[in-house]
Amino acid sequence: MDIATPYGFSGFATRGDCGELPDAFRRFATDREWVCGYITLHPLFPHPFRDSDGLEQGRTVYVLDLAGGEARWLASMHETHRYEIRKDAKLLSSIVSDVDPIARALPQLYAQTLARVGASDVYRFSAATLNAWLSSPDCLTFGLGDPLQAVILCLYTPHVADYFINASTEEGRRYTRVLLWAALLELERRGVPYFNLGGGAREGDALHAFKQRFGGRAMSVPVLKQIYRREEFVRLCPPRNPAEHATVYFPPYRSP
């Protein structure tokens, strides 16, 4: 068995003196006979892990500081985003925040989105999973269209929000900017200080560029790549050099 945290930054949180965490976590994983782990750490929060623990810098994400208000957000954006948001401001009054119609529309919209972008099966969440997120008290979700053509879903704590899901028809893609703008306004109203937009599916792709243009701070996501049972790890790896493959995709036996 291996363990991964590929979907955002859920999981346990620590505070205070956590110097013993790296050793404690490795003992925890070893006792459960995990083969290896790919664990993302939140880029905003300090942690006690070091290079010797398997720490690497992963993909780039963009984090918006929600202090300062609308004028500062607009000033930091790329002019294309700024223009489109101002043009679509009239749509803010039509945004749907009622969870019931969004819950009915989201599974189909999400399936259309995955098919359009050719997403891996690992992202094919069930309707039950989508509904569980929607029913969470820490979920912020908005939609646009009649019937709904686009939905965004954000999960948040008092410390940070994560842009979690975007689902839309081909036509509904044009609503993404204004839906994210509505999320910014509401998260600020709720007192959330940071909004993590995430990054692209691949570094430098169109999705990466879209999020970069919102003007957030670029941050590398710390990642732990750890091996707990080396003999089993080597046995599971392809018959090529495991170390070579681990630098590209970890673990190599999960490579698509």
Sign for the CA dihedral angle at 192, 198, 204, 209 comes to negative
Res 229: pLDDT: 94
Query: At 131, which helix (H) or strand (E)?
Result: helix 127-134
CB 191 within 8 A of CB 202: no
DSSP tag of 137: T
φ/ψ of 178, rounded to 5, equals -70, -30
In the structure, what pLDDT confidence band is assigned to residue 240 with cuts at 50, 70 and 90?
Answer: low
Res 245: pLDDT: 47
**Mean pLDDT for the stretch of residues 168-190:** 95
In the structure, what pLDDT confidence band is assigned to residue 125 with cuts at 50, 70 and 90?
Answer: confident
Res 247: pLDDT: 53
**Mean pLDDT for the stretch of residues 141-168:** 93
Mean pLDDT taken over the chain? 87
Supply the pTM of this predicted model: 0.84
Res 120: pLDDT: 76
Q: Give start-end residues of each CATH 3.40.630.30 domain in the chain.
A: 67-192
Q: What is the pLDDT of residues 64-101, one digit of tens each?
A: 999 878 889 999 999 999 999 999 999 999 999 999 99
**Mean pLDDT for the stretch of residues 180-206:** 89
The answer on pLDDT for 5 being more than 80 is no
Res 237: pLDDT: 85
> How is domain 67-192 classified at the CATH fold level?
Aminopeptidase (3.40.630)
Cα–Cα distance between 164 and 166 in angstroms, integer? 7
CB 61 within 8 A of CB 197: yes
Tell me which residue has tokens 């208000």. Answer: 69
In the structure, what pLDDT confidence band is assigned to residue 14 with cuts at 50, 70 and 90?
Answer: low
The answer on pLDDT for 246 being more than 60 is no
- Percent of the chain predicted with pLDDT > 70: 90
> Under DSSP, is residue 101 helix (H, G, I), strand (E, B) or coil?
helix
Cα–Cα distance between 194 and 164 in angstroms, integer? 14
DSSP tag of 96: B
- Percent of the chain predicted with pLDDT > 90: 56
